[in-house]
């Protein structure tokens, strides 16, 4: 690490080793060399002269760059001001028998664009695996707490009861949509293939002596060797930057989900109902030693804001790609694409860590319910009196007066909600005094929340997770950097 120049905290502080490696120079230029190898193999299979088995073998033996290769390429790029040709030169030095046929017929975008598509595909695979793990962890949490009543909130004001597990299904549902969107973007990815300088394949028509079928076969074969089952039928010099929109939109949309979930947990932490994991020696505040700040969820919110805006880069870049291409996409994409994947990766690692260690405080939840439930139970109390022969309007007035008195006790005196004690001391309500405990049982106020959790997990979540059961069998837990 150099302490004298800026390094992105995405890689130096937060991102996983696998995602950092995927967007590294080592992976990028290895991918270029693999593409040049695939092109040479396909051209040799189609009968192009001058491509020997020895040349192919040398290329295979030098796919991984050494420090010397990087130094050679850097010096060459400084001189030629062209990164692709610098790496063609560096590859040719270590594979001299192939030097004359490396990059044969190709334009720079053969390696840069096809290489990007390979990295995007592999990056989405990593994201999908991590997203599945987060969903799986939250499923377990929802199952465990599907029956635990908790105060619902609308407008962050007390509302009807729900359960801790039911609330969690709201998070899971959004993550399922993210999984659908990201999987769709991954499966829709095609390959640029061998399309030539402006997408017309003119150079390959020359190499293959005007044989259209062989040019198409070359395109298919390189696509196959590179691990894709489809190629974009038409391109300019680059693949359409609208593809980047499809990818970044799904990641940005996930960023919005992550922010919502982390915000919910932060609000619940303030209420002391649910907290993110807090390590034994963790310090919450340098001044206030008692604090347990929700720093993981705050990190999620902070980075999610960055992720959600990166889709704007892709939208703007695509809109200004003139005709067959311009180069004003290059510098932007070098930043926005890696940052989107690294940020999504960090969010998922953090969310997995949070979901594996969520702490629930049932007694705090129960106390808050007790403070609000008497007001919510007034309609049930009125109905119970009517069943005993009472007059609804008379009962409504009696309970209205007591409710206002209890509210004043809470708001003006800072006391507890004593509505039920007032009802128990009011002779009018004597016919239902013995029923009050049953009327105030929180489980009678949660509707079908537990059943909804069960149905949702069985009918909607488990079928989606089923294809990933082998991934989920491998236990992976996340330890976060500070």
Which token pair is 105? 């017929």
pLDDT at 281 (0 to 100):
46
pLDDT exceeds cutoff 60 at 280: no
Question: pLDDT of 312-350, one tens digit each?
Answer: 999 999 999 999 999 998 999 999 999 999 999 999 999
Distance CA 301, CA 297 (A): 6
Q: Give the whole-number percent of the chain exceeding pLDDT 70.
A: 96
Of 12, 82, 100, 285, catalytic: 285
**35 to each of 101, 222, 411, how far by Cα in Å?**
13, 8, 71
Interval 157-178: pLDDT, tens: 988 999 999 999 999 999 999 9
CATH classification for the domain delimited by 378-439, as one of 1.10.40, 2.60.40, 3.30.70, 1.20.120: 1.10.40
Asked if pLDDT for residue 285 goes beyond 70, the answer is no
- CB neighbours of residue 315 within 10 Å: 14
Residue 35: count other Cβ atoms within 10 Å of its Cβ.
Answer: 23
Q: Of 438, 443, 420, nearest to 371 (Cα)?
A: 420
CA-CA distance, 166 to 143, in Å (whole number)?
A: 9
Tell me the β-bridge partners of 153. Answer: 158
Please determine, for residue 383, whether its predicted confidence score (pLDDT) is greater than 70.
yes
Asked if residue 417 lies in contact with residue 375, where contact means CB atoms within 8 angstroms, the answer is yes
Weakest-pLDDT range from 11-20, 136-145, 456-465: 11-20
Provide the 10 A C-beta neighbour count for residue 167: 20
Q: Is the pLDDT of residue 352 over 50?
A: yes
Q: Does position 291 have pLDDT exceeding 60, yes or no?
A: no
What is residue 288's predicted lDDT score, i.e. its pLDDT? 47
| Same fold: 9-98 with 123-145+161-196+229-361 | no
Considering all CA atoms of the chain, what is the largest pairwise distance in Å, rounded to the nearest integer? Answer: 105
pTM, full prediction: 0.90
Is the CATH code 1.20.200.10 the one for domain 123-145+161-196+229-361? yes
**Right CATH number for 9-98 from 1.10.1060.10, 3.40.190.10, 3.40.50.1980, 1.10.275.10?**
1.10.275.10
Report the relative pairing of strands 274-275 and 149-154 from DSSP bridges: unpaired
Please state the rounded mean pLDDT for residues 236-252.
Answer: 96
Tell me, what's the pLDDT at 481?
63
- Region 278-290: mean pLDDT is 50
User: What pLDDT does 439 receive?
Assistant: 86
Catalytic residue check, 155? yes
Structure tokens at 318: 């695509």
Average pLDDT, the chain: 92
% residues pLDDT > 90 (the chain): 76
Give me the helices (H) in 428-468, please. 436-439, 449-456, 462-465
Query: What is the pLDDT averaged over residues 447-456?
Result: 96
Domain boundaries, the chain: 9-98, 123-145+161-196+229-361, 378-439
Dihedral angle sign, alpha carbons of residues 225, 226, 230, 233: negative
The answer to whether 77 touches 83, Cβ cutoff 8 Å, is yes
Mean pLDDT of 361-389: 90
- Using the predicted structure, report yes or no on whether residue 287 has a pLDDT greater than 70: no
Catalytic-residue membership of 253 = no
What's the average model confidence in pLDDT over 75-84?
90
């Amino acid at each position: 690490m150099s302490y004298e120049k800026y390094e992105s905290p995405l890689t130096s502080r937060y991102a996983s080793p696998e995602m950092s490696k995927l967007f590294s120079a080592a992976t990028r230029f290895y991918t270029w060399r693999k593409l040049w190898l695939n092109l040479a193999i396909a051209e040799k299979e189609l009968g192009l002269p001058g491509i020997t088995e020895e040349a192919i073998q040398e290329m295979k033996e030098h796919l991984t760059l050494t420090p010397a290769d990087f130094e050679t390429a850097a010096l060459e790029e400084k001189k030629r001001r062209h990164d692709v040709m610098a790496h063609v030169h560096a590859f040719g030095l270590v594979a001299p028998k192939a030097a004359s046929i490396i990059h044969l017929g190709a334009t720079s975008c053969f390696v840069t664009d096809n290489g990007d598509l390979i990295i995007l595909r592999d990056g989405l695979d990593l994201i999908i695996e991590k997203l599945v793990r987060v969903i799986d962890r939250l499923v377990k949490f929802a199952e465990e707490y599907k029956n635990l009543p908790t105060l619902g909130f609308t407008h962050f004001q007390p509302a009807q009861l729900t359960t801790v597990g039911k609330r969690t299904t709201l998070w899971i549902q959004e993550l399922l949509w993210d999984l659908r969107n990201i999987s769709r973007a991954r499966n829709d990815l095609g390959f640029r293939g061998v399309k030539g300088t402006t997408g017309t394949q003119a150079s390959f028509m020359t190499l293959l002596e005007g044989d259209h079928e062989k040019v198409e076969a070359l395109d298919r074969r390189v696509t196959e060797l590179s691990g894709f089952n489809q190629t974009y039928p038409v391109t300019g010099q680059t693949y359409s930057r609208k593809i980047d929109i499809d990818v970044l939109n799904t990641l940005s949309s996930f960023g919005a989900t992550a922010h919502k979930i982390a915000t919910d947990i932060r609000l619940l932490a303030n209420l002391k109902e649910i907290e993110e994991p807090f390590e034994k020696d963790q310090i919450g505040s340098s001044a206030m030693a008692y604090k347990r700040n929700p720093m993981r969820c705050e990190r999620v919110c902070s980075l999610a804001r960055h992720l959600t805006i990166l889709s704007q880069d892709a939208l703007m870049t695509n809109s200004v790609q003139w005709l067959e291409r311009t180069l004003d996409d290059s510098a932007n994409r070098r930043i926005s694409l890696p940052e989107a994947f690294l940020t999504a990766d960090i969010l998922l690692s953090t969310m997995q860590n949070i979901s594996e260690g969520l702490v629930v405080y049932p007694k705090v939840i129960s106390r808050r319910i007790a403070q609000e439930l008497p007001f919510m139970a007034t309609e049930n109390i009125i109905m119970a009196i009517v069943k005993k022969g009472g007059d609804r309007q008379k009962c409504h007035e009696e309970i209205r007066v007591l409710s206002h008195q209890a509210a004043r006790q809470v708001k003006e005196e800072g006391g507890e909600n004593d509505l039920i004690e007032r009802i128990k001391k009011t002779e009018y309500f004597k016919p239902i005094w013995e029923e009050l405990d049953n009327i105030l049982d929180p489980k009678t106020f949660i509707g079908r929340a537990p059943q909804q959790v069960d149905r949702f997990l069985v009918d909607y979540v488990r079928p989606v997770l089923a294809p990933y059961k082998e991934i989920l069998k491998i236990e992976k837990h996340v330890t976060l950097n500070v």
